[in-house]
Amino acid sequence: MAFITKEKFLSKDWFTAYIYLLVGSVLFAIGDVMFVNPYKLAPGGVYGIGNFLYHMFGFKISVSVLCMEIPLLILGTIVLGPRFGIKTLISTFLIMGSVYVLETYLWGYAALLPNDPMLNALVAGMIYGVAIGLIFKSRATSGGSDIISMILNKYTRLSLGKLVIIVDGTITLLTLFMPGESGGVDWTLPIYSWLIIFIEGKIIDMVIDGMKVNKTLFIISEKHDEIKARLLKDLKRGGTMFSATGMYEGAERKVIYTTITRRESSILLNHISHIDPKAFVNVIDSSQILGEGFKSIDEEAAH
């Protein structure tokens, strides 16, 4: 079952997961009620539809979302099987409950920022990103349009990532039907909604993977032994050396493959520039590295 974890009840990991879940759910509600809805934005998901229904018909966001989430969870369970763990259910109702409290008792404090759509979109994207990132770190989902994307993924050849973008991107177009200040179609609403989705995605990655990005290097050099010595002795890092054949001349060359931190990468590249300025180096960002010298595989698998 997806998003069912091995945390022992009342253990440190259990408390950590549910703190992430609680904080993320409340933050999401704050982002929607106080930063997204007042500006008539709809950055995807059932809450985007809920914001649209509020501005068009005056329906409460929490009530609209409740009427969508329950059928979606039931349909998702029927079509996909029991893939939604208890934490996804808790997250779904925590967000709805928080939205209900905010829109019922604190509505007058909405729109905390000055009437600056760009600034608001930036802040809203960051709040959404942190919120959903924390929910994901607890090994839950916020349900909603993710379920629609999962169902479509089962019956189409499109990847889940592309389907999420298509579904959420389509929902943002509902803002075109909202009455604009000039009375006509206001294209700024979907544009700012798309901006929120973009920022949200970047922040989610940062929350889940952290600011630290490791580097994977493929190094081809005639002076591979000297570079290897620097890597092993100066940086105290390992790697793999293998033989490869050049396509142009057919000559056999040694390739050093290693994964190190961003700081170590800068040091090693400086060494290479002095050892062999003609070396070929391919540097790749690596967001998740498991194994000796990095995060253990057992630790990751435990979540």
Among residues 269, 203, 209, the alpha carbon closest in space to that of 234 is found at 269
Instruction: Give the pLDDT score at 210.
Output: 65
Mean pLDDT (whole number) for 203-232: 84
Let me know whether 131 and 203 are in one domain: yes
Let me know whether 271 and 134 are in one domain: no
Let me know whether 235 and 189 are in one domain: no
- Mean pLDDT taken over the chain: 82
Let me know whether 99 and 224 are in one domain: no
CA distances from 92 to 64, 74, 143, 185, 302 (A): 13, 13, 6, 33, 24
Q: Is residue 244 part of a domain?
A: yes
Q: Is residue 5 part of a domain?
A: no
Q: Is residue 76 part of a domain?
A: yes
Instruction: Give the pLDDT score at 2.
Output: 43
Q: pLDDT class for 4, splitting at 50, 70, 90?
A: very low
State how many domains the chain has.
Answer: 2
Q: pLDDT class for 62, splitting at 50, 70, 90?
A: very high
Q: Is residue 116 part of a domain?
A: yes
Least-confidence region, from 182-196, 226-240, 262-276: 182-196
Of the two residues 107 and 76, the one the predictor is more confident about is 76
Let me know whether 285 and 229 are in one domain: yes
Q: Is residue 191 part of a domain?
A: yes
pLDDT digit string (tens) for 29-38? 999 988 888 8
Q: Is residue 173 part of a domain?
A: yes
Which domain, by its residues, includes 248? 214-301
Is residue 203 within 8 Å of 126, Cβ to Cβ?
Answer: yes
Among residues 44, 73, 45, 41, the alpha carbon closest in space to that of 54 is found at 41
Residue at a domain's end among 161, 176, 209: 209
Let me know whether 185 and 37 are in one domain: yes
Least-confidence region, from 129-138, 173-182, 216-225: 173-182
Let me know whether 139 and 249 are in one domain: no
Q: Is residue 1 part of a domain?
A: no
Instruction: Give the pLDDT score at 300.
Output: 52
Q: What are phi and psi of 221, to 5 degrees?
A: -155, 145
Of the two residues 211 and 19, the one the predictor is more confident about is 19
Structure tokens given for 125: 């994207």
Structure tokens given for 6: 């091995």
Quote the CA–CA distance of 19 and 8 in Å, as a whole number. Answer: 15
* pTM metric for this prediction: 0.70
pLDDT(28) > 70 = yes
Let me know whether 185 and 288 are in one domain: no
Considering the chain, what percentage of its residues have pLDDT values greater than 90? 28
Let me know whether 190 and 48 are in one domain: yes
Q: Is residue 199 part of a domain?
A: yes
Instruction: Give the pLDDT score at 112.
Output: 61
Q: Which residues, including other chains, have CB under 8 Å from residue 132's CB and lie 6 or more apart?
A: 24, 28, 142, 200, 204
Let me know whether 187 and 73 are in one domain: yes
Quote the CA–CA distance of 267 and 230 in Å, as a whole number. Answer: 10
Residue at a domain's end among 185, 209, 233: 209
Instruction: Give the pLDDT score at 110.
Output: 54
Quote the CA–CA distance of 63 and 37 in Å, as a whole number. Answer: 15
Let me know whether 95 and 167 are in one domain: yes
pLDDT digit string (tens) for 118-173? 888 899 999 998 998 888 888 777 667 777 877 787 788 776 667 777 888 889 99
Residue at a domain's end among 165, 184, 209: 209
Instruction: Give the pLDDT score at 267.
Output: 83
Let me know whether 58 and 130 are in one domain: yes
Mean pLDDT (whole number) for 45-64: 91
Identify the CATH number of the domain in which residue 270 sits: 3.30.70.120
